[in-house]
Amino acid sequence: MAIVAAVVVVLALAAVAITGFWAPGFLVADDGARPVAKDVVDGINGRDTAALQELTCDDATDYVTSTIDDLEGRFPGQTTLEQFDETPDDAKALVRAAVDESGYTEYTVDLDPAGGGWCWKGLTKSGYATG
């Protein structure tokens, strides 16, 4: 009876190990690009240029690097992550930056899976809105 119980325990542990670490890998699953998008927003809100530079891709656009140098000018108020879309090849986050009490500017943050991890590659100004 003890042998049967031991075999059942071994099989159960093997099943957890196989499904947890290999297929589908829920114990080691990558969170994807969403945490990086959130870190970009947090870095903007905290005016943390060092953290933002760490998040940028080696081939980030000039607009990304100039934005980091001019956070107050481009993001004068609170910035929020509004939408997020991810594919295996890229990810895009729509962020809103408060400009004044009644308006905000929308930007698209482009993320790239460079080198096995996600990094901030591009930034596009989408427009200004009120409300």
* Distance from the first to the final alpha carbon of the chain: 70
CA atoms of 17 and 98, how far apart (whole Å): 47
DSSP symbol at 115: G
> What are the pLDDT digits (tens) for 49-77?
999 999 999 999 999 999 999 998 888 89
Q: Contact at 8 Å (CB) between 69 and 103? A: no
Q: Which CATH class, in words, describes the domain spanning 31-130? A: alpha beta
Predicted model pTM: 0.74
